[in-house]
Amino acid sequence: MSYIKLCQNCRNKKNQDLFYSGYYNWLDDNCYECPMKDCGHKLIDIDLSKEEFDIITSISKDISFLETMIQLKEKDIIEYRSKLSQFKILIQQQTKESQKPHCPTCGSTNIKAISGISRGASIAMWGIFSKKINKSFECLDCKYMW
């Protein structure tokens, strides 16, 4: 299992940008020197896997949140695992929500498919002037059809 690394020198600069914070999840396990320009300090292995790091940082990019989760893992592994499993569920829900079709106009997922009967009735009534020709969905919020 690959773990993240910490450059304490970079972390002491208190940079709040995740990339420059001193925490590195993209380095090889055999890398022991900070890759940042003009640093070169020794790296410390942190007891946090790259997968855990990715889960935590997908919830929040806040460095203090990351450090709190690292401390929680050290102090109370049961509570840490509970929170991590909650985060995984939240990420799965967000992924499912983002995969749902949504209205291209307002972004709502409150849509319905236009049935063939509805489309046929509209074409029968309005002919080539029907708004439902070549449309598959209708947004129930803004009424846009596409």
**How much is the pLDDT for 15?**
82
**How much is the pLDDT for 137?**
92
Provide the 3-class DSSP secondary structure of residue 130: coil
**How much is the pLDDT for 51?**
93
Terminal Cα-to-Cα distance of the chain (whole angstroms):
47
Q: In DSSP terms, which residues pair with 45 in a beta bridge?
A: 5
Task: Tokens for 141, please give them.
Answer: 């919020």
Q: In DSSP terms, which residues pair with 43 in a beta bridge?
A: 7
Question: The pTM is what?
Answer: 0.64
Kindly list the domain boundaries of the chain, sorted by start residue.
3-99, 100-146
pLDDT per position as a tens digit, 128-146: 888 888 888 999 999 999 8
Q: Which residues of the chain have pLDDT under 70?
A: 1
Which amino acid is it at 126?
W
